[in-house]
Structure 1
C-alpha cells in the first residue's frame, strides 16, 4: 500500500494539491502550467526555462540566484517543458530540506516560497522585455539543443515518426522548438509569451512532504494569489483511424538503420482498459521477456535494440528498433508478426503474471520518488479523473489474459518510418 493521500483545494486561479507524507526528508514544490500545443508558441515556450533560471529582480545574475538557493540549504531548482497528449506543460520545481530538521525559528518554507514567487513572478526583465543580450545568448543555447536531436538518431527517428504520423494533429508539435522560428524571437515577444503563460495557462501547485496542510495553504495564498483569467483545460486526445498505412523512408549517412513504427491504441489514461494496455505493452516490447526483445533481437538477431512504449494521453503505441539497413523488410515482417501473436493470445499465463509484477514494481519505484508521485497524480488532472494511488495498484492486479487480447485487437498500425543509409543509386547521383 502506498499510503499517499492527496488533499486538493480549488481556487478560481489555480488548484492546490497537498500531499502530506513522512516518507522523505525534503519538501517538493511543483508548479505546472498547461496550455494547448501550438507551433506558434512552442519555440518561445522552449526558451523560457533558460531565461527564467538566469536571474530575478532581486538576484539579477545566475550566480546570485544560485547563491541564494545555496543559502536555503542547497535548494534545487529546475524548469522544463513537456508534452502530454495534446497539452504543452511547463513545470517549475524546487526541492528543499524539510524545515522540521532545522531550528524552528528559521521559517524555512516562508523563505523558499518567497524565492519561488520571485523566480516565477519577478524575472530579470524591464519595460515588458527580457534583456536582449541574455535572449540572444539563450537562443544560441536552445539552437544547440534543437540541433543535438538530429545527432541523436534514435531521438531523431522518433521525432520524425511523430511528424509523419500526427502531421494534421497538435501532437506533432516539437516541444523543444524549431530552428526556423528562433530568428524572429526577441526580448519583447518571449516576454509576452511568459505573461500569457502566467496569466492564462491552467496552473496546478503541488506541495509534497512532511508538511502542515494549513501552513501550506496560507503560504500559497500569500505568495501565489495573483490576478489570473485562466481558460485552458486539458485537451482530450483526438482519435484518428487512418484507412491505409503510411510508410516513410529517409536516407542519411548512418551505419545503423532506425525502424520505428507508430500504432493507434484508441485507449488513454482515462479509459477502463488503460491498465490492460500497460500489461500488453510489457508483454509486447516493454520488458526483457517481451516478444520484441526475445524474438526480434535475441532469436532472429535482427535488431541491436527492439522495444515499445505507449503515450498515456494520446493513445499511441510506438515501436523502436535499430537494425542493419538491409534487414528492413524482414525486421518489419517479424515485428508485425509479434503483434498478430498478441492478438491471437500466443503468450503464457505465467508471462502475464510476470509482467503484472514488473508493472507494479515500476509503479512502486515511482512512488518511492517525490517527483514520481507528483507526476502520477498529475496524470489524473490531464485525464479529468480522480483516483487514489492504491486504486491504481488494484486495477493493475485485476488485468486478465482476455483483457490483454482485447486491447491487442484494438491496436492498429498507422505509420512506418525507416531511417537508413544512402542507397547505391543515391551515392552514384
Structure 2
C-alpha cells in the first residue's frame, strides 16, 4: 500500500489537511463543517449548504456559479449533509482539473479555492439576510426530499428503526431534519444561524492532488483569511451516547407495501476509537457485510426467506443494523434464522477460511476507497471525528492481525436492541 503523508496547518479557525499526490489527475477540495446533532439546528443545517451553493456576492445566481465552473474547465461543486455518530456534517466539495496537464496557464486551483471560499464565506445577502427567493426555493426542494423518504421503504425503515432504537438520543434525529421545523425557517433566521455555524463549527478543509504545501498555505491564507482564530472554539470530540436496554423491543408498523422490511438494530459497544474496531469490521464482514456473509448465504440463498439480507456498522455510534426485505408472513421464520446467525457468530461457528476471505474482501474494498480522493478523505476523517490517531498506512496490518478469537470476543459484546418490521396491510393476519 502506498504511503500517504498529510500535512496539517491552520488558517484562523480552519484546520487544513494537504495531501500532495501525483496519483490523481484532478485536484480535490473538500470542506467539512461539523457540529453536534441537535433538534434545534438539524433542519437548518440540512438546508444551509444548498442555499450557500445557490448564490454568492461575486456569483449571485446558480447560473453565474455554473458559468464560473465551466470557465474552470468543467470544475464541479457539490454539497451534502450527513451524520456520523452524534455529529452533523455539512460538506462542500470541489474538483478541478490539474492545470499542469493543460496547455494554457490559467491558475485553476487558486480560482477553485477562491470559488469555494466565496460559497462558504461570502454568500449572497440583502439587509443581513439571505436572498428570500433562494431560501424559499431550497425549502421547497428539501420538503420534497423529506416527503420522498416515505416512498423509499428501505430508507423509511432505517429512519424508523433509528428513531425507535435511539429515542431520546441525538442520533435519533433524521439527517435531513423535519418538515414541521422547516416551515419556521426564513431568510433572516437561517442567515443568523449561518453566522453561528461559521463561528462555532469545527472546520476541516482537505486538499488532495499534485500540489505544493507551501503554495497551499499562501492560497488558503489569502482566500480564507476572513476566518479569524476563535480561541473559544475547542477541537471537541462528540463521544457517542451508549444506551443499555434491559430487554429488546419489537416495533411493528403496517402500510400498503408489497414487500415487508425487517430491520434489526444491535448495540455493539465498540466504536472507531476502540481497539476492537477492526475485529468488529471483520465480524460484520463474516456476518452480513458481503455477498459471502452468513446473512446473504443462509437467509437469502439457502432459506429463500429474503429478497435481500445484509448488515452494516455505524462505527461512530456503535450500532449494527441488519436490513432485509421479506414477505410479511415470513417474519417469524426470518427473525429466527437471523438470530441464529448471530448466535453462531458468538459461538465461533465460522471457519478460518470465512475469516481469511473476509479479510481479503475488506482490504480490497479499502484499497478501492483510498484510490478515490473523496474516499481517502472520508477514511482519514474518522481520526478527526474520534480524536484518534490511526494512520491509514497501518490499516492492512491491523486487519491481518485480527484472529477468530478477536471476532468472537467482539460478537459476545453485541446486544439486541430493537426489531422494526414494516409489513403489508393485506397480509396482516397471515403470520
Class of the TM-score when normalised by the shorter of the 2 chains: over 0.9
CA distance in 2, matches of 1:424, 1:377: 47
Describe the shift of the 1:197–1:228 C-alpha distance in structure 2 as closer, same or farther (beyond 3 A).
farther
Who is 1:396 aligned against?
A: 399
Shift of 1:106: 2.2
Alignment of 1:272-311 (within 5 A): 272-311=275-314
Who is 1:413 aligned against?
A: 416
Q: Does the Cα contact within 8 Å between 2:11 and 2:224 map onto a contact in 1? A: no
CA distance in 2, matches of 1:66, 1:22: 28
- Please, which of 247, 250, 262 is the counterpart of residue 247 of structure 1? 250
| 2:228 is the counterpart of 1:227 | yes
- Please, which of 314, 323, 346 is the counterpart of residue 326 of structure 2? 323
CA distance in 1, matches of 2:98, 2:190: 35
Normalising by structure 1, report the TM-score.
0.97
| 2:172 is the counterpart of 1:172 | yes
Who is 1:8 aligned against?
A: 8
| 2:342 is the counterpart of 1:378 | no
Other structure's SS at 1:249 match: strand
Who is 1:32 aligned against?
A: 32
Q: Does the Cα contact within 8 Å between 1:256 and 1:322 map onto a contact in 2? A: yes
Render the CA deviation track for 1:246-291: whole Å, top value 9, x for unaligned: 1100111111110000000000111111000111001000111111
CA distance in 2, matches of 1:105, 1:156: 50
Shift of 1:387: 2.8
CA distance in 2, matches of 1:425, 1:184: 38
Who is 2:95 aligned against?
A: 95
Shift of 1:221: 1.1
- Please, which of 352, 355, 358 is the counterpart of residue 352 of structure 1? 355
Other structure's SS at 1:407 match: helix
Shift of 1:423: 5.8
Who is 2:120 aligned against?
A: 120
Shift of 1:5: 1.4
Q: Does the Cα contact within 8 Å between 1:57 and 1:122 map onto a contact in 2? A: yes
Who is 2:48 aligned against?
A: 48
Describe the shift of the 1:251–1:172 C-alpha distance in structure 2 as closer, same or farther (beyond 3 A).
same
Normalising by structure 2, report the TM-score.
0.96
Aligned length: 427
Please tell me the root mean square deviation across aligned C-alpha atoms, in Å. Answer: 1.6
Deviation larger for 375-384 or 100-109: 100-109
Who is 1:189 aligned against?
A: 189
Q: Does the Cα contact within 8 Å between 2:329 and 2:427 map onto a contact in 1? A: no
Other structure's SS at 1:64 match: helix
- Please, which of 337, 340, 346 is the counterpart of residue 337 of structure 1? 340
Shift of 1:10: 4.0
Other structure's SS at 1:221 match: helix
Who is 2:262 aligned against?
A: 259
Other structure's SS at 2:375 match: helix
Structure 2 stretches lacking a partner, 5+ long: none
Shift of 1:107: 2.2
Structure 1 stretches lacking a partner, 5+ long: none
Q: Does the Cα contact within 8 Å between 1:82 and 1:89 map onto a contact in 2? A: yes
CA distance in 1, matches of 2:229, 2:79: 21
CA distance in 1, matches of 2:189, 2:114: 27
Shift of 1:424: 7.2
| 2:358 is the counterpart of 1:363 | no
CA distance in 1, matches of 2:141, 2:172: 23
Q: Does the Cα contact within 8 Å between 1:34 and 1:234 map onto a contact in 2? A: no
CA distance in 2, matches of 1:261, 1:232: 34
CA distance in 2, matches of 1:190, 1:59: 20
Other structure's SS at 2:41 match: helix
Q: Does the Cα contact within 8 Å between 1:44 and 1:190 map onto a contact in 2? A: yes
Shift of 1:104: 7.3
Describe the shift of the 1:186–1:227 C-alpha distance in structure 2 as closer, same or farther (beyond 3 A).
same
Q: Does the Cα contact within 8 Å between 2:328 and 2:428 map onto a contact in 1? A: no
Runs of 4+ residues deviating >6 angstroms: none
CA distance in 1, matches of 2:183, 2:121: 26
Render the CA deviation track for 1:177-231: whole Å, top value 9, x for unaligned: 1111111110001111211111110111111111000000111111112225334
CA distance in 2, matches of 1:105, 1:283: 52
Q: Does the Cα contact within 8 Å between 1:200 and 1:232 map onto a contact in 2? A: no
Who is 2:215 aligned against?
A: 215
Shift of 1:105: 4.1
Q: Does the Cα contact within 8 Å between 1:2 and 1:367 map onto a contact in 2? A: no
Who is 2:316 aligned against?
A: 313
Other structure's SS at 2:96 match: strand
